[in-house]
Amino acid sequence: MTTDTQMAPAELGESIITIDGLNKWYGQFHVLKDIDLDVKRGERIVICGPSGSGKSTLIRCINRLETHQEGSIVVDGIELTDDTKHINDIRREVGMVFQHFNLFPHLTVLENCTLAPIWVRKTPKREAEELAMQYLERVKIPEQANKYPGQLSGGQQQRVAIARSLCMNPRVMLFDEPTSALDPEMIAEVLDVMVGLAEDGMTMLCVTHEMGFARKVANRVIFMDGGQIVEQNEPEEFFNNPQNDRTQLFLSQILQH
């Protein structure tokens, strides 16, 4: 990131994700408690909190990688139920970037990017490849298109993973700790790409502990603990004037060093 100044506030549209009274259990363990969350089109949300607080589970519920037991999740006007067709309709519109990249190691970078457009969107192969090259250029690794993921560095792999999601033209991007598995010198290259996405108006939900990124990009920072949303606010307020003692403790712990 080149500057510390905050981005201009996004032009917020209507709601794209509406979560209402969400509860989830892993067996006896109550992992998400009464979550209400409304995400507007173009909004950029950073979710932070201690490990085990349910933040990854929350965003994984949005594209149904996890099922919930109570409450409703509506994405782009479609409610998430057991109906496989609805689930795939939503997954098509919601991109996800994982902590461990999860690139397909047996496919080249280009094939990683074109697989879903060709088979899910039914884009002709040539068109899908052109699109993929556009996005690979955007994440600044077009020259790696014919290599396999195992030949790339962690930062490059994560940028491919972002390009792979973008190739589906998603309306929302979910980031699940995208920089936590990276070596320090590679974090910046991934964050740069994410900042660029935010500048283009992408709706983003990021689980991350990169507070510099949160300050610069987020419209809203959400702090979770014990499966609940403890506090949410604009970044300035959130960092300078946390309201809850749990938030204050967390911030003091991660900002100490």
Which residues of this chain interact with another protein, rule CB under 8 A?
A: 63-65, 84, 88, 91-92, 94-96, 98, 100, 102-106, 115-116, 119-120, 148-151, 161, 164-165, 168
**In this complex, which beta carbon is closest to another protein, that of residue 72 or of residue 151?**
151
3-state secondary structure 25-48: EECCEEEEEEEEEEEECCCEEEEE
Q: Whose Cβ is closer to another protein: residue 95's or residue 227's?
A: 95
Closest distance of CB 229 from another protein, Å: 23
Tokens of 68: 């919930």
Residue 79 or residue 199: which is nearer to another protein going by CB? 79
Smallest distance from the beta carbon of 90 to another protein, in angstroms? 8
Smallest distance from another protein to CB 175, Å:
12
Q: Which amino acid makes up residue 100?
A: H
Q: How far are the Cα atoms of 11, 50, 184, 214, 228 from residue 58, in angstroms, in the given order?
A: 25, 14, 26, 18, 10
Beta carbon nearer to another protein, 55 or 246: 55
> End-to-end CA distance of the chain, in Å?
19
Beta bridge partners of 17: 39, 75
CB of 254 to another protein, least distance (A): 26
Q: Could you tell me the smallest distance in angstroms from the CB atom of residue 37 to another protein?
A: 19
Q: Which residue has the tokens 């910046």?
A: 188
Closer CB to another protein, 60 or 220, in the complex:
60
